[in-house]
Amino acid sequence: MKKSRGVVTLICTLLLLAGCIYTAIFGVGQDKSGSAESIKLGLDLAGGVSITYQVVGDEEPSATDMSDTIFKLQQRVQNYSTEALVYKEGSDRINIEIPGVTDANQILSDLGRPGALYFIAETDSNGNLNYVGSYGQDADGKLVQVYSLTKSLEELEADGSIVLTGSEVAEAQAGYRKDDMNNQSPVVQLTFNADGTTKFAEATKKAFEKGETIAIYYDFSEVESENFVSVPKVNSVINAGSAEITGEKSLEDAEKLASTIRIGGLKLKLEELHSKVVGAQLGTDAIRTSLMAGAIGLGIIVLFMIAVYFVPGLVASIALALYTALVIVLLDGFDMTLTLPGIAGIILSIGMAVDANVIIFARIREEIAAGNTVGASIKIGFDKALSAIIDGNITTLIAAVVLWFMGTGSVKGFAQTLMLGIVLSMFTALVITKMLLNAFYAMGVRDQKWYGVSKERKPINFLAKKGIFFTISAVVIICGFVFMGIHSAKGERAFNFSLEFIGGASTTATFPEDVSIAKLDSEVVPKIEAVTGDGNVQSQKVTGTNEVIFKTRTLTVDEREQMKDVLVESFGVDEATINVENISSTISNEMKRDTVIAVIVAVVLMLIYIRIRFKDIRFGFSSVLALIHDVLVVLTCYAVARISVGSTFIACLLTIVGYSINATIVIFDRIRENLNTPGRLSVEEIVNTSITQTLSRSIFTSLTTFIMVAVLYILGVTSIKEFALPLMVGIACGTFSSVCLTGAFWYLMRKVGKKKA
């Protein structure tokens, strides 16, 4: 690269950085605010819409029907946000909370009004019409066909005219279909369950023979003519378990019809009880301190990188600044919802972005020490670091993709931000860092002193100490199980599960005046925590009112009275406005199951990838053993410190899994390289040498990531601290397992395999 080209490259990169920072802060276009301000935030950071539905009917719904309805509603609302929550309130009400939304009416309109959906034959068994059509005007004054029932639903059900119900529709999706002229027209594609397939086949056979229609009727209104959502003519016998509804004017109309059919498939009929806009759960302090912690953490990392790596450190700092700005811009661009678990994904990806640079710089120093010129060392260093960076990032990316496709709720949100971070970190490390290093070199910065020279280190005999390392790990993990047993013996749960996992109580109170979030965090919540003896208290303001919702663990009768006394005596709340309801967990059994399955699938795929890349499945099994070790150590932290196990728990474990696998792959990559290097080293010496060669990388990467989380812990509010502490433990034990355990696992497996052979 010529000097002039190096100058142009540096200027272009700095302009790109300036442009991204400007877009993040100020935005582009007259009506657009900065990306940082426009990012959609979750309920924990910004609040949203809360809608309460009441089950219609005199009988109390069964727990099974409520659970099924909640799960199906959860699937529906994820179209609006992966962070939407659905949970039971009392015995016959369901709450839906959707972040980043301020118009409840729009959500109610788009989501559909939960009611009962019926597929009704045009005529009964005696040939009498069940519904009749007439002409009327739509909202635009156009002449349209409208329908009305000739009988009550009870009569239709009694004479068998209701051929199918919404509960037998497995799925309804809007889409396009091409006709014979290759024109696209919007359609609604229906899929039925086993019973629905049989019933629909029989119904369409009769309707087709008679040349009749089958009406889709949605029972939610007293005006029956408005309840016919579609009256399609049957053009053939449909026995394949799927069907299409045509005739919609636009894809938007088709999507509304599909949404109506989906929500009509609920087991229970619901009606809207009330809706309101609620504020953030964590409060402004949590957001402010998190941003401040991120800025301070990045500043410390920049200083650290420059102090340790000189010119390459400066280059990495520019690339890291660009990475951070791009993350902010693309979070807004891809319309992702950012929550506390999402912040975990970003922290992990920042650590991986630093890690990639550390791997490259360590390789460059090794090549300089081997006698190569700086220019050649830069080229060779990037080439040799490439496999470790790609393998480490792709294994983590595999996990993120699986979690995104198969996970639900906050797991999906975590996966989205992690995927974005991984892709950007590889781009900035392998493209931007390389361009900038070559640019500085072209501009005359060629002296070795600006890049550093790797010092020859005597290999540390890690394998000789494997017994000590195994013992330390075993003691820590056993302590965790002991504490779990002690808590269980005392009648407590093994872990301090929060209301997201086990449900709790929702207390609504109307204060005599508007209470700021800062006052809630500093004065009200601490007094409630004193009553509950638990730091897991969530508060939400209802926008436009003095009403505040406090979510806590399940309260005893005495605790409810104590909480009422605190609110009345300390804050002047009228006791008549205080209402307490039990609420279910927001993390359903189905969500837990889906997450477990997703993690298992991710681990299997990572094993397959490692087997293909390393040609040795023992590398994969060693990595998995390290993951299990790290998870168990973090569980020990949760059990001993009684940290609240809430929605961030899953994100925390997934962050540690991603961090651990990435660190392990770097060491295994060096073992693989040294195995293929001619020489007389034994396998034991190769393992020790490889760990020693990557030791500085392991320490520096862990240190930079640890700094980010530690600052978050120091500055954060209670909920942030409970999130950051296990992350710090996970980073520390992930480094320990990568350096001290994984090489030993692989060595022992190889040794046993050779003996058997």
What pLDDT is attached to residue 747?
93
Apex 414 CA angle, 409 and 418, nearest 5: 150
| Per-range mean pLDDT, top range of 59-68, 217-226, 634-643 | 634-643
**Residue 537 confidence (pLDDT) above 70:** yes
Sort strands 270-278 and 48-55 into parallel, antiparallel or unpaired: antiparallel
Look at the domain 48-113 and name its fold: Alpha-Beta Plaits (3.30.70)
9-13, 575-579, 640-644: least confidently modelled range: 640-644
What pLDDT is attached to residue 347?
67
Structure tokens belonging to residue 81: 């946000």
CB atoms near residue 404 (< 10 Å): 18
Q: What is the rounded average pLDDT of the residues 80-94?
A: 80
**Does domain 506-583 correspond to CATH entry 1.25.40?**
no
Q: Are 219 and 158 in contact (CB under 8 A)?
A: no
Write the CA distances from 194 to 85, 170, 285, 533, integer angstroms: 30, 9, 52, 50
- The larger pLDDT score, comparing residue 339 to residue 661, is at 661
Which pLDDT band holds residue 729 (cuts at 50, 70, 90)? very high
For the range 59-65, what are the long-range contacts, defined as Cβ-Cβ under 8 Å and sequence gap of 24 or more?
A: 60/91, 60/92, 61/91, 61/92, 61/268, 65/267, 65/268
Q: Are 260 and 228 in contact (CB under 8 A)?
A: no
What pLDDT is attached to residue 113?
54
Which pLDDT band holds residue 567 (cuts at 50, 70, 90)? very high
Q: What is the rounded average pLDDT of the residues 86-91?
A: 84
- The larger pLDDT score, comparing residue 79 to residue 634, is at 634
Phi, psi angles (nearest 5°) of residue 144: -135, 160
**Residue 31 confidence (pLDDT) above 60:** no
184-188, 359-363, 510-514, 540-544: least confidently modelled range: 540-544
What pLDDT is attached to residue 114?
56
Which pLDDT band holds residue 753 (cuts at 50, 70, 90)? low
Q: What is the rounded average pLDDT of the residues 82-103?
A: 79
- Strands (E) in 100-178, as ranges, are 116-121, 131-137, 143-149, 162-165, 169-178
What pLDDT is attached to residue 684?
92
What pLDDT is attached to residue 52?
84
- The larger pLDDT score, comparing residue 298 to residue 687, is at 687
What pLDDT is attached to residue 49?
81
**Residue 139 confidence (pLDDT) above 70:** no
**Residue 725 confidence (pLDDT) above 90:** no
% of the chain at pLDDT higher than 70: 88
42-51, 445-454, 557-566: least confidently modelled range: 42-51
463-481+588-756 matches 48-113 in CATH topology: no
What pLDDT is attached to residue 315?
93
| 213: DSSP letter | B
Domain range summary for the chain, segments of one domain joined by +? 3-25+282-450, 48-113, 116-265, 463-481+588-756, 506-583
Q: What is the rounded average pLDDT of the residues 449-458?
A: 86
- The larger pLDDT score, comparing residue 415 to residue 750, is at 750
What pLDDT is attached to residue 706?
87
| Per-range mean pLDDT, top range of 614-618, 722-726, 729-733 | 729-733
665: which residues sit within 8 A by CB, 6+ positions away? 388, 391, 392, 395, 610, 623
What pLDDT is attached to residue 704?
85
Query: What is the secondary structure of 511-574 as a DSSP string?
Result: -SS---HHHIIIIIHHHHHHHHT-S--EEEEBTTSSEEEEEESPPPHHHHHHHHHHHHHHH---
What pLDDT is attached to residue 368?
93
**Residue 636 confidence (pLDDT) above 90:** yes
What pLDDT is attached to residue 94?
86
Q: CA-CA distance, 99 to 86, in Å (whole number)?
A: 12
**Residue 79 confidence (pLDDT) above 70:** no
**What would the pLDDT profile of 333-388 be if each residue is shown by its tens digit?**
877 777 766 666 676 667 667 888 888 998 899 899 989 999 999 999 999 989 88
What pLDDT is attached to residue 225?
55
Q: 3-state class of 585 per DSSP? A: coil
Look at the domain 463-481+588-756 and name its fold: Multidrug efflux transporter AcrB transmembrane fold (1.20.1640)
Q: What is the rounded average pLDDT of the residues 608-620?
A: 86
Among residues 500, 523, 680, 487, the alpha carbon closest in space to that of 586 is found at 500
**Residue 756 confidence (pLDDT) above 60:** no
Q: Are 484 and 639 in contact (CB under 8 A)?
A: yes
What pLDDT is attached to residue 115?
58
Cβ-in-10-Å burial (0-12, 13-18, 19+) of 142 comes to exposed
Which pLDDT band holds residue 649 (cuts at 50, 70, 90)? confident
What pLDDT is attached to residue 2?
81
36-40, 298-302, 637-641, 666-670: least confidently modelled range: 36-40
Q: What is the rounded average pLDDT of the residues 400-429?
A: 81
**Residue 425 confidence (pLDDT) above 80:** yes
Look at the domain 116-265 and name its fold: Gyrase A; domain 2 (3.30.1360)
| Per-range mean pLDDT, top range of 43-52, 82-91, 406-415 | 82-91
233-237, 266-270, 429-433: least confidently modelled range: 266-270
Instruction: Give the mean pLDDT of the chain.
Output: 83
Q: Torsion angle of alpha carbons 414, 543, 512, 549, nearest 10°?
A: -30
| Per-range mean pLDDT, top range of 198-202, 225-229, 289-293, 613-617 | 198-202
Which pLDDT band holds residue 587 (cuts at 50, 70, 90)? confident
**Residue 285 confidence (pLDDT) above 80:** no
What pLDDT is attached to residue 170?
82
Q: Are 571 and 513 in contact (CB under 8 A)?
A: no
Which pLDDT band holds residue 264 (cuts at 50, 70, 90)? low
% of the chain at pLDDT higher than 90: 22
CATH number at 3-25+282-450? 1.20.1640.10
What pLDDT is attached to residue 204?
92
SS3 string, 669-698, reads HHHHHHHCCCCCCCHHHHHHHHHHHCHHHH
65-69, 138-142, 482-486: least confidently modelled range: 138-142
pTM of the model: 0.72
- The larger pLDDT score, comparing residue 262 to residue 578, is at 578
What pLDDT is attached to residue 380?
93
**Residue 268 confidence (pLDDT) above 80:** no
What pLDDT is attached to residue 686?
93
H-run or E-run covering 342: helix 340-369
What pLDDT is attached to residue 364?
92
What pLDDT is attached to residue 73?
79
What pLDDT is attached to residue 737?
93
Among residues 432, 424, 312, 317, the alpha carbon closest in space to that of 361 is found at 312
Q: CA-CA distance, 360 to 362, in Å (whole number)?
A: 5
- The larger pLDDT score, comparing residue 39 to residue 458, is at 458
**Residue 561 confidence (pLDDT) above 70:** yes
